[in-house]
Structure 1
Amino acid sequence: MKDRSIHILNFIGLGFFEPAIRLASGEEVKKNVTALFRKVLLPIFSIFFFLMLWSAGSSYLYNIEKDFRIEKAFKERGEAAAQEEKKCIESGNVSCQITTLPSPTQVWLGYKSLLADHYLISEKKRAFEERLASKNAELKENDLPPIEYTGRPSFVDQIFTSLKTVFAGFLLALFIAVPIGIMLGLSETLRSSVNWLIQIFKPVSPVVWLLLVSMIVNTLSKNSDSDSAFVISFISVGLCSMWATLVNTSMGVSSVDKDYINVAKVLQLSVGQKVFKIILPSSFPLIFTGLRITLSVAWMVLIAIELLAQSPGLGLFVWEEFQNGANDSNAKIIVAMFVIGIIGFLLDRMMLTVQKFVTFTEET
């Protein structure tokens, strides 16, 4: 049971909990206590230190802004106005609320507010669907489109929208980059012929890809009812992020051991058999390294692309909160920042797990 638990933790990229399991079974107590302190307790201490530093920084910036406002009121309107400004700030009145770096407590309250807002919106959506269930059933019988809920999406809804977009972009990158990478890896002549194209397009900014894709999609979808914002977003994400997979696939295929290629010739394997039975299995470690980078880049550029394309998702949420300027907007932006980072980490762990299923490597 112990070994199985350790194997599962290592497999999913959570091997730093291994000392805790070994310690629980009484194995090499001193060694595992040291390992547990180094791999688990020290990171926990660093989290508390980060939170303390963050809280101190937030208080410092708050006091700077507070002193500035009071001094400005004193210079412009006198002592009475300065005291009034100070009293207003300390009372927490909305009219003179200080908006600067939110404290950890404010961010936690912002998270709870977003969660409560999600439950409220979900309840409204459920009530809407129940109210129009019979009407939509009647429309469906007449082959007419149903009446859909068009209210404001919640923060959780926008998380799932971003995930849908990033996975669509990732799949597009995979289906474009892997076949082209295989062809380039198999032919040195072809690889050297188009290398200049890869080197030029690889560093292009997401903004430029977005503008280019928008030109093409908007032209092709003039008479279409499809969601052009979603299409533009996921195609832009795919084109921005595919280059790591393309380069790694090409490199992996071109570096396959020549003895394997000679064996394929001796066995008189067809091109398809050679690719799927010899080349791809040998290239999987490099291909999956490229796919992990591609997924990370896709998630990173998605936020900027959603913001620019005004496509529903976390990027648009952050921009709307920034524009909103409400008392808790800064706290909600920080919540979104942490959510983006945590999801990025989980996506990388997911790809690492898939990589180990396919390649049986110990890469971390």
Structure 2
Amino acid sequence: MKQSITLGKVTRIIGLGFLVTIKDLFTGKMEREQFKDFLRKFIVPIASIVLFIGLWHMGAKTLYNIEASYKVDKAATEQGQEAADAMRACIASGDVSCQPNTLPSPLQVWESYKSLLRDHNSIAADKRAFKEKTAALNAKRLAKGKDPITYTGRPSFVDQIFTSLKTVFAGFLLALFIAVPIGIVIGLSKTLRSSFNWLIQIFKPVSPVVWLLLVFMIVKTLTKDSNSDSAFIISFISVGLCSMWATLVNTAMGVSSVDKDYINVARVLKLGPVQKVFKVILPSSLPLIFTGLRITLSVAWMVLIAIELLAQSPGLGSFVWEEFQNGAIDSNSKIIVAMFIIGTIGFLLDRMMLTIQNMVSFNKNDGI
């Protein structure tokens, strides 16, 4: 029975159940509770999306009209009525040179999204052509022990997304490898918890900018004569140090709050310290540890943009800053595209961590 219910839920998710629900709705076979469930799961979310886009469109139009009126009034004040009429006509014609540069509409953002995809396809084609042209030459250089010639063109928006993902996962792994072992050690000892609590409370709220500057000083000193990508190293270490504290605190809390009956059972079975940690303490602490890891990954993704911007790493942070400085008519639209991409990826990363948590934990969590 449980398997059939689960399969039914999966079927509804992939669409077949939705079609059956629509059929029941129009044929009058849907019960009252089913109708309420249908409204909550499908109609209300769709309506909220439409409302959001409608409010966005009206807000963008209002700001556009305010900025247009300001430009016309300014032209009239500084250059006379003839210049104001010319400015009004220029704005009405859609000329890029005189368009108000304010909050873009949903349609403008969509066009910028398609423009970024076209740009990515163009850059990808250039990379393939470059690779084909230099394939024979690079083979000869490698045979002689020389470094191959690499493509040095600008990265596309999609390339910058993957750079940011690589950086955030490297920082997350660093945070995991630092915070979980230290959290276990601290959680096993009341003395260590009281000894290190002051350090955690002081460093936990430190700004990512401060961590970046500290890491920058250390990495630049250690990689002066190195050919490694110092911007990437600085970025992922800063991300890891900024985001590890939630995992550290939750791991220590989870380990310290393990049921004493489990510890007594471990003593009866004469488990060694390592066995006790891996067979008793860690399984019992997994829910809190994964809660900390979810927070760590979310914090890592949030601070990444600011860190990439300051470290000049070619990721989404660099993209947003370049578009802001560019000041082109479509720069605001591209920044909002990046905002939606950043938010969507952050949501997917959190869902990924929640799925892993439910796979390895006894306590299932449907968290939001």
Please say whether Structure 1 and Structure 2 have the same fold, judged by a TM-score greater than 0.5. Answer: yes
1:25 Cα deviation from its structure 2 partner: 10
CA contact (8 A) 1:169 1:298 kept: yes
Give the aligned partner of residue 144 of structure 2: 142
Inter-CA distance 2–325: structure 2 relative to 1 (3 Å threshold): farther
Cα distance in 2, alignment partners of residues 101 and 195 from structure 1? 46
Give the TM-score normalised by structure 1.
0.95
Residue type matched to 2:168 in 1? V
Please state if 1:204 is matched with 2:216: no
CA contact (8 A) 1:58 1:102 kept: yes
Give the aligned partner of residue 63 of structure 1: 65
Inter-CA distance 105–25: structure 2 relative to 1 (3 Å threshold): closer
Structure 1 counterpart of 2:75, from 73, 76, 79? 73
Give the aligned partner of residue 134 of structure 2: 132
Q: Pick 1 or 2: higher relative contact order, CA cutoff 8 A, min separation 6.
A: 1
Does 130-139 or 30-39 show the bigger shift? 30-39
Residue type matched to 1:314 in 2? L
Please state if 1:297 is matched with 2:291: no
Give the aligned partner of residue 37 of structure 1: 39
Cα distance in 1, alignment partners of residues 69 and 331 from structure 2? 22
Give the aligned partner of residue 155 of structure 1: 157
Inter-CA distance 54–25: structure 2 relative to 1 (3 Å threshold): closer
Cα distance in 1, alignment partners of residues 299 and 11 from structure 2? 26
Inter-CA distance 75–230: structure 2 relative to 1 (3 Å threshold): same
Inter-CA distance 208–55: structure 2 relative to 1 (3 Å threshold): same
Aligned residues: 360
Give the TM-score normalised by structure 2.
0.94
Cα distance in 1, alignment partners of residues 75 and 23 from structure 2? 66
Inter-CA distance 147–182: structure 2 relative to 1 (3 Å threshold): same
Inter-CA distance 150–2: structure 2 relative to 1 (3 Å threshold): farther
1:143 Cα deviation from its structure 2 partner: 2.0
Give the aligned partner of residue 215 of structure 1: 217
Give the aligned partner of residue 344 of structure 2: 342
Residue type matched to 2:38 in 1? L
- Could you give the per-residue CA deviations for residues 257-300 of structure 1, whole angstroms, max 9, x where no partner exists? 00000111111101110000000000000000000000000000
Which structure 2 residue ranges, 5 or more long, are not aligned?
none
Cα distance in 2, alignment partners of residues 154 and 176 from structure 1? 33
CA contact (8 A) 1:19 1:33 kept: no
1:40 Cα deviation from its structure 2 partner: 2.2
Give the aligned partner of residue 110 of structure 1: 112
1:21 Cα deviation from its structure 2 partner: 8.5
CA contact (8 A) 1:74 1:81 kept: yes
5 Å matches for 1:247-326?
247-326=249-328
Inter-CA distance 345–97: structure 2 relative to 1 (3 Å threshold): same
Give the aligned partner of residue 180 of structure 2: 178
Residue type matched to 1:328 in 2? D
Cα distance in 1, alignment partners of residues 78 and 5 from structure 2? 72
Runs of 4+ off more than 4 Å: 6-10, 17-28
Cα distance in 2, alignment partners of residues 184 and 21 from structure 1? 54
1:127 Cα deviation from its structure 2 partner: 0.2
1:4 Cα deviation from its structure 2 partner: 3.3
Cα distance in 1, alignment partners of residues 47 and 309 from structure 2? 35
Cα distance in 1, alignment partners of residues 17 and 289 from structure 2? 32
- Could you give the per-residue CA deviations for residues 33-64 of structure 1, whole angstroms, max 9, x where no partner exists? 21121122101100100000000000000000
Cα distance in 2, alignment partners of residues 252 and 28 from structure 1? 46
Structure 2 counterpart of 1:168, from 159, 167, 170? 170
1:142 Cα deviation from its structure 2 partner: 1.8
CA contact (8 A) 1:166 1:299 kept: yes
Which structure 1 residue ranges, 5 or more long, are not aligned?
none
1:327 Cα deviation from its structure 2 partner: 1.2
SS at match of 2:364: coil
Cα distance in 2, alignment partners of residues 128 and 333 from structure 1? 29
Cα distance in 2, alignment partners of residues 265 and 22 from structure 1? 57
